[in-house]
Structure 1
Amino acid sequence: MRIIRETTFLLLFLLPALVAAAQERVPDGPLPRDVVPTLVQLELRVDPRQEGFSGTTRIEATLARPLDTLWMHARDLELSRAEAVLADGRRVPLRAEDAHASGVLKLSAPETLPAGALALEFDHAAAFGKLEGAYRARQGDLDYVLTQMEPLGARKVFPGFDEPSFKQPWEITLVVPEADVAVANAAQASSEPADPGWKRVRFARTEALPSYLVAFAVGPWDVVEGPAIAARGDRSAALPFRTLTAKGQSAKTAYGREHTPAIVHALEDYFGTPYPFAKLDNLAAPDFAWGAMENAGLVVYRDSLLFPEAASPSDERLSFWMVSAHELAHQWFGNLVTMRWWDDLWLNEAFASWMGYKIAHQLQPDLHADRALLDSVLRTMDQDSLASTRRIGEPIRDFTDIQSAFDPITYDKGGAVLEMVERYVGEQAFRDGVRDYLAAHARGNASRDDLFAAIAARAGDAEGVRAALDSFIEQPGVPELRVGLDCAGATPALHVRQRRYLPAGSDADADQAWTVPVCARYADGDATRTECALASGRESRIPLREARACPAWVMPNADARGYYRYVMDAPLQSALTARFDALNEREQQAYADALQAGFKTGALAPAAYLASLPQLAGAGGSQAVTAPFANLRWIWEQLIDDEDARDDFRARVASIYRPRLERLGLEPRADDSEDDRSLRETLAWVFAYRLRDPAVRAPLAAQGRGVLGLDGDGALDAGAVSRDLRRNALVIALQDGAIEAFDAAERHLRASEDPVLRGELLYAMALVEDASLASRFRALLLDEGSVRANEVGWMGAQSAVPALRPALRDWMRANFETLTTRSGPFIVAAVVAIDAVGRCDRADADELQAHYAPIVRGLEGGPLALKQASEDIRLCAALKQAHAGRPLAFPQ
């Protein structure tokens, strides 16, 4: 008892010091909940023709306890006033200090502020940002201002509580030049004159929103009203709908305006609740870092995504459908119900990604969004096979980790896990669980536990479903299921052993297991049946209860809706190979992936892999047909040193794929399916660029010259080749046309405001093979008058030319600060990844790490990007060693 008494006395003596120390610790993660905002009133003075903006912010809040130190967020803001306004009206000045590089703001009061209601008021100013926060974009000779607040941009625009768990209404007022258009999340409530030449535009109070969903735009926007989206279900009134573009661009949004209402209606039907906000504006941004951003009521898109036409290539139209459905799904999943912290970002992005593809496939089945999703998921499995991969639910401990969470693990793996669980529990039960989740947490915040509980409650096997979700969200990696067939008993069964899939050279631990919803399709006499069960633990047995006899063949991933790779016993693999044509198009994609996965472990030799090419070349869907091309490129770059041998390799590949291209032809046909159009584009590219086939290069080069006007008066003729092949034609024309073609492309780029054509021209210029022209291209990317900030990323395309990689690396390193200043933090990970392209020696990995580690240590997304790029190089070296000396024999 004596020890306890002395300890108690010591604690009482130290308690004031401990409390003071706790208050002084800078909250570089979530802010304390000592101060909770209830309303933010924001007034900003914004002129796109100026270098910066200014404003006032008033935050009504509640103090949970008496405090003299408050923690908020502000970054790169000039604060000229900071005051607390107490409930009795008394004003208390606050001393503001930058407390952390992430933008934590420390506010110190000269006295203890009482618990209860108070207001925080600030006067502030800032320079416009670089593709984040509030930033300027230029189209032609006109300037615009728009915003990108997610993830950490809001703190660069106004002081506040810049994290998802703080959700409150906003009242936004913009003071802007009288000739400009101003829009924000909510509808305009009033507009009145301000200073001479200015107007004050007030917007209605928003619903409760976190700061990352706040948005506004100012400039000479063209605005197309409606038509309003018709009433539907519980939404009794038409929904106001507008589209905004840069001056002169509105005609390009006709396709998007026509089809957006169908997407809204489909989402309302799925969620069983009306669109959650009072209006919908789609804004086509002339310069934007991301594809799109789901700001409540004001969705911002990279302009090219809103500009497809009926004649546009399939992938461009699919991008509109998928991205639009993704962003609109966020209005429910993310905006209506919001994550509490960034480690549940997947709640927003995984669900929206999966829903985007789902709605796109429902409304436009000919575009095959379901196969496009699977294609993305299979590519993501390669990233998820790294030892350095993230968990879907990876804890976010540092602000540099937040940017890393916006990656394929969050979007594509998360979406694939949802699709797998939906298949297991049933579409209706899954949808009902989602509806329950939204109803329970509408206008507030929620966590993964809330979603899991809602779905599990609707499932027939709640405990199993919860275990499956937890096992895929809480641990990294791709399950590898080793599948055998046991027909010795009365009921045939699959024998499943599981471990983590790892490529050759990985130092990760393969001793890992998941609760995997396995659905297998199999032949039962003349019938084909599908059964699903959970496989858990290192080994499990899955009875095929509906089978009347031992199956002739088994597809272990029915419809390829499971997030796992499979390896089959030799007899089962042979039987499946023999019945390849019986697999549906998604299953053929998964079959192709199983071959690639075996090649990357070293278990499948190059000759055996090459033997699969004729079968894949004849597959039903374009994705399975073209699946081997990445591996083939790796083989001829890394395993073949002799140029004559490379030429022979190309010729052998061409002989296998030529019949497929000849059946399609190079000219579009009236009866082309969307798959035909997509496959023609890819095969034409591979034959012309990769395989150097003169029979394909020559007509494409001629068509590209026609686009550039090289055989005429020099005028651009964008219609000189079909839209499906225009990019291919421009690449070949520039490669074959030397400086004349490059000069023409650069001239047309400087004159064009069409973002799609600009992208095609930049891509073609990136792939020129002449070193001096390649240097000109890189210099052009730094010309702010000619190239948008979001177009700088086309530098990565140049890495496709092996001979240009060293010069590209040197240029990126020399201009790293300029690149990140010009395009913002989003480009850091891209630079590191591009630097690693084609490097396949352990010494390269060490050099990359040594160069970039001190540079990216404090940059958003940088540390993980460097770790993964270094690991990719080491794995490439290990795979090269595993296959060294093995014959590259083609099937006879």
Structure 2
Amino acid sequence: MLPLYLRCASGALLLMLSAALDAAPNLPVSELPTGRLPGTLQAERFALQLTIDPSREDFTGIATMIAKVTAPTSTLWLHGRGLDIQSATLTLDHGRTLKLSARQAHVSGLLELRAASVIPVGSATLRIHYRAAFSHQLQGVYKLLHAGEAYVMTQMEPQSARLAFPSLDEPAFKQPWDITLIVPNDQQAVANTALVEATALANGWKRLRFARTENLPSYLIAFAVGPWDIVDWADIPANAVRQSPLKLRGIAAKGRGPELHYALAHSGEIIAALERYFGIAYPFDKLDILAAPDFASGAMENAGLITYRDSLLFINEQTPARLRQAYWGVQAHEMAHQWFGDLVTMPWWDDVWLNEAFATWMSAKIVAELQPEFQVQRNRIESALYAMDGDSLASTRRVREPIRDFTEIAAAFDGITYQKGGAVLGMFEHFVGPENFQRGIRQYLQAHARGNATSSDLITAIAATATDPGAVRAAFASFIDQPGVPFLRVALNCAGPQPRLQIQQSRYLPVGSSASADQTWQLPLCVRSGDGEQTRSQCTLISGSDSEVTLDGERCPDWVMPNADASGYYRFALAAADQAHLQAAFAKLNAEEQRAYADSLAAAFMAGAIDPATLLAALPQLASAPGRQVVTAPFQLVRWIDQQLSADAAASSQLRARVRQIYRPRLAALGVAPKPDESDDDRLLRASLLELLADFGRDPELCADLAARGRRFLGLNDAHQIDADAVPADLRGLALAMAAAHGDSSVFAAMLQTFRGSGDSLLRGQLLTALGRFTDAELATRARAVSLEANTRSNEISLVVGAQLGEPETRSAARAWLRSEYTALMKKGPRGLGTGFARLDASDRCSNAEADEIDAWHGPRLREIEGGPRRLAQAVESIRLCAALKAAQTPK
């Protein structure tokens, strides 16, 4: 799954359910199994029969578990949250049936079933009849409205299956599932597996029985009911790995099936590429891809029924380059999960990185094979650097972080799990070699297919392919079992018969950090050095705080790049003379190495090792680089320097003018207007440069042109009609933002009308973000109100206020509104909104007093929210680090 946000219900939802409790006392909260279940109840098979009518506000279900009781007990623990349980019985293997009382014992959804007598060890059948309300927060079984039609669909990961049915809602419990849906005749229904039987019932209903699934955990169960378009696509052909064709379908809201053409047309080649790599056939009986009109995450890897935000599947050749590339990346990520996560599943959430890091890494590998022009290896570096920023916090966590409580689970779905984990996998693939790495992956999947596996299982399989398995295991463990980013101080020493690198290793820390730098890793170091026109690369494992690496060759190199191909998850700083030599050899570095070099400057600035003048002096060299990501690398820090360090308006104006002077020539070389057949990279670079020069640099010519294009798009033209061709697709969001920033009430009215009439998720998001750019107080107030309108989707409600928090003129009012409307926002939004709003509220704050205030206001609200405590701690720490950096970089 791509990143999700979750919020739990309050303690007031503890329910006294229909069967009366017996006289046994309730356990104190401290003794409740709010982490892992005790395992007294083990499922061998699950059967679900659900009666669902999307026009209603609730549904009914019968959950049947063919189970084993592993120890004598009078209490069975499982999960169910907000379920109105009407009856619960346990039939023992000799036929005796016990009535069970039931209660939700904890806000996490811990469900306690009690018998009046001791339940013996042995086989048993647990049957629960219940009723539950549809969620309106994009979790569990949730209801959504689209174009006047009601739909029901699901999102179970990580802890929302318990909202849908009583279950053992942990990844360790994998068993087959029999799913039956009873729905109105005029509704379509899909589930994880193929439909095997449809039976007409009385009063306009039908019963749909789906094939028994393979072994699956509860979080991978999925179904959808509604007036869906179902597009039957051509089967994915058999190949050398898979003996039979694979059924492929697309599912979209009514009338939107034709928009799935591009996504369906390319699904087969992604599946085939994954099968070639794994050497294992796609592991389920069919593949459906569903475009959800309202969805909290990017996508979800449900076995055989992958769900996506619809904007990721409604793609064509004219779609903005960034979104089209996102389709490929997300599609490959979710399809990779069908093996890594679905076929083989982690036993507990501390190993969720096995799912998400692998899918992140594998996605880049598959897209690089199928779409080499996307240059995804450069995006891989961006992902690793993004992870390093979060991993530099004292409040960061390990890749494999122990999880003891339900609130800690959602926090595992972050940049450490996805991007750091993916970067670490890539580093070790580079170190042991791609063929060895692939052999280890195949062995791991074959050994644990249809079951569970741990980090140790994966690392052992990969290490077994290396020359020194023990060293690789130890090195791998040092990266996943401790937090932080390695930091290498590197100096070239050419005294003696061969040149050597002298390396000091510690933990990278930004200025003001409370963490200790006294930390080391067993680190796969790869360096590249240059001697005239000749370059050499070499790799070795280093460990300890001090080490020395002898370079190949006898001559002292002209320069040394301490992170060859930027393949390593670490930051570096060279001795002053060596840094000057590397800077002079900048053009000899590849694009990945140039990006790592740019990061070394940013890291030095954040650590207080270089001042703003030194960083800004590097901009012309970075601006001339061929790689897009190198050109754009310093943009965020330039904005920070202006916002936090510019002494007055004149200083700010001077910095903006300097930025225009440096980057305008690069834009001129590209051209403001797109060219036929130009690369995606050029389109993306143009959009980034225009945003910098117009939005930050306030270039009057560019601002006026973009705003005019935005107005024409909205129909504010002589024809008084929307002009979709007024602005290229890659620039539409920026043009609308500029139209708002330089617009009046007529522009506001046109945007609002267009938003209310559109079902296009991408355009809706762009319009809401643009509405947040109006700085007039009255228009800003009206824009915030749109967030709570019935027409605004749950996954859209933070867009206006998020944009307003980025504007000095509207920031204060937006913060006040966020807090005054907090209850209404939490009710309407997805469950992760509480943590999301805490981070928004923390944005652009840069003082210790503000850090204290954020902690005091949001702390009580996030204490029992999944992921809340850690994400709030990180937001608060980020404010304190900003304050420390500002103090360090402000001239005394």
Report whether the alignment pairs 1:514 with 2:525.
Answer: no
Query: Which residue is equivalent to 2:6?
Result: none
Q: Is the 8 A contact 2:29 2:106 kept in 1?
A: no
Note the 1:30-69 alignment, pairs <5 A.
30-69=36-75
Task: Report how far residue 23 of structure 1 moved.
Answer: 13
What's the TM-score, normalizing by structure 2? 0.96
Counterpart CA distance in 2 for 1:309 and 1:236 is: 31
* Aligned equivalent of 2:639, options 633, 638, 641: 633
Q: Is the 8 A contact 1:95 1:109 kept in 2?
A: yes
Counterpart CA distance in 2 for 1:24 and 1:94 is: 24
* Aligned equivalent of 2:490, options 471, 483, 496: 483
Counterpart CA distance in 2 for 1:24 and 1:384 is: 31
Q: Is the 8 A contact 1:170 1:205 kept in 2?
A: yes
Query: Which residue is equivalent to 2:228?
Result: 221
Counterpart CA distance in 2 for 1:863 and 1:152 is: 17
Report whether the alignment pairs 1:303 with 2:320.
Answer: no
* Aligned equivalent of 1:276, options 271, 283, 291: 283
> Which blocks of at least 5 consecutive residues in structure 1 are unaligned?
1-18, 887-892
Note the 1:238-249 alignment, pairs <5 A.
238-249=245-256
251-260 or 617-626, which deviates more: 251-260
Report whether the alignment pairs 1:811 with 2:817.
Answer: yes
* Aligned equivalent of 1:83, options 58, 73, 89: 89
Query: Which residue is equivalent to 1:720?
Result: 726
Counterpart CA distance in 2 for 1:424 and 1:707 is: 51
Report whether the alignment pairs 1:423 with 2:430.
Answer: yes
Task: Report how far residue 22 of structure 1 moved.
Answer: 11
Report whether the alignment pairs 1:767 with 2:773.
Answer: yes
* Aligned equivalent of 1:456, options 453, 463, 485: 463
Q: Is the 8 A contact 2:659 2:693 kept in 1?
A: no
Q: Is the 8 A contact 1:503 1:597 kept in 2?
A: yes
- What CA deviation, in whole Å up to 9, does each residue of 1:794-815 have, x standing for no partner? 1323222122222111111122
Query: Which residue is equivalent to 2:33?
Result: 27
Counterpart CA distance in 2 for 1:23 and 1:712 is: 68
Query: Which residue is equivalent to 1:605?
Result: 611
Count of aligned pairs between the two proteins: 867
3-state DSSP of counterpart to 1:508: coil
Report whether the alignment pairs 1:293 with 2:318.
Answer: no
Report whether the alignment pairs 1:465 with 2:467.
Answer: no
3-state DSSP of counterpart to 1:338: coil
Query: Which residue is equivalent to 1:782?
Result: 788
- What CA deviation, in whole Å up to 9, does each residue of 1:438-486 have, x standing for no partner? 0100000010000011001011121121111111101111011111112
> Which blocks of at least 5 consecutive residues in structure 2 are unaligned?
1-24
Task: Report how far residue 34 of structure 1 moved.
Answer: 1.5
Query: Which residue is equivalent to 2:203?
Result: 196
Query: Which residue is equivalent to 2:355?
Result: 348
Q: Is the 8 A contact 1:353 1:415 kept in 2?
A: yes
Task: Report how far residue 875 of structure 1 moved.
Answer: 0.6
Report whether the alignment pairs 1:567 with 2:573.
Answer: yes
Query: Which residue is equivalent to 1:131?
Result: 138
* Aligned equivalent of 2:798, options 756, 771, 793: 793
Q: Is the 8 A contact 2:78 2:111 kept in 1?
A: yes
Query: Which residue is equivalent to 1:251?
Result: 258
Task: Report how far residue 542 of structure 1 moved.
Answer: 1.5
Report whether the alignment pairs 1:208 with 2:215.
Answer: yes
Query: Which residue is equivalent to 2:883?
Result: 877
* Aligned equivalent of 1:414, options 401, 406, 421: 421
Task: Report how far residue 376 of structure 1 moved.
Answer: 2.2
Query: Which residue is equivalent to 1:364?
Result: 371
3-state DSSP of counterpart to 2:856: helix
User: What residue identity is the alignment partner of 1:832?
Assistant: A
3-state DSSP of counterpart to 1:138: strand
User: What residue identity is the alignment partner of 2:540?
Assistant: A
Q: Is the 8 A contact 2:241 2:276 kept in 1?
A: no
Query: Which residue is equivalent to 1:501?
Result: 508
Query: Which residue is equivalent to 2:859?
Result: 853
User: What residue identity is the alignment partner of 1:563?
Assistant: Y
Counterpart CA distance in 2 for 1:803 and 1:874 is: 23
Query: Which residue is equivalent to 1:836?
Result: 842
3-state DSSP of counterpart to 2:170: coil
Task: Report how far residue 712 of structure 1 moved.
Answer: 3.3
Note the 1:595-674 alignment, pairs <5 A.
595-674=601-680
Query: Which residue is equivalent to 1:179?
Result: 186
Counterpart CA distance in 1 for 2:29 and 2:124 is: 20
Query: Which residue is equivalent to 1:686?
Result: 692
Query: Which residue is equivalent to 2:407?
Result: 400
Counterpart CA distance in 2 for 1:261 and 1:137 is: 30
Query: Which residue is equivalent to 1:106?
Result: 112
3-state DSSP of counterpart to 1:108: strand
Note the 1:741-760 alignment, pairs <5 A.
741-760=747-766
**Cα distance change on mapping 1:818 and 1:23 into 2, 3 Å:** closer
Q: Is the 8 A contact 1:314 1:367 kept in 2?
A: no
Counterpart CA distance in 2 for 1:814 and 1:177 is: 41
3-state DSSP of counterpart to 2:285: coil
User: What residue identity is the alignment partner of 2:412?
Assistant: A
3-state DSSP of counterpart to 2:207: strand
User: What residue identity is the alignment partner of 1:429?
Assistant: N
Counterpart CA distance in 1 for 2:27 and 2:808 is: 56
Query: Which residue is equivalent to 1:10?
Result: none
Q: Is the 8 A contact 1:828 1:861 kept in 2?
A: no
Q: Is the 8 A contact 1:650 1:691 kept in 2?
A: yes
User: What residue identity is the alignment partner of 2:318?
Assistant: A
- What CA deviation, in whole Å up to 9, does each residue of 1:682-702 have, x standing for no partner? 111111111110111111111
* Aligned equivalent of 1:169, options 169, 176, 190: 176
Task: Report how far residue 54 of structure 1 moved.
Answer: 0.8
What's the TM-score, normalizing by structure 1? 0.96
Q: Percent identity?
A: 51
Q: Is the 8 A contact 1:23 1:69 kept in 2?
A: no
Counterpart CA distance in 2 for 1:304 and 1:243 is: 14
User: What residue identity is the alignment partner of 1:514?
Assistant: W
Q: Is the 8 A contact 2:181 2:209 kept in 1?
A: yes
Report whether the alignment pairs 1:541 with 2:548.
Answer: yes
Task: Report how far residue 526 of structure 1 moved.
Answer: 2.8
Say which structure, 1 or 2, has more relative contact order (CA 8 Å, 6+ apart).
2
Query: Which residue is equivalent to 2:5?
Result: none
* Aligned equivalent of 2:712, options 706, 712, 723: 706
Task: Report how far residue 89 of structure 1 moved.
Answer: 2.1
806-815 or 51-60, which deviates more: 806-815
Q: Is the 8 A contact 2:241 2:275 kept in 1?
A: no
Query: Which residue is equivalent to 1:117?
Result: 123
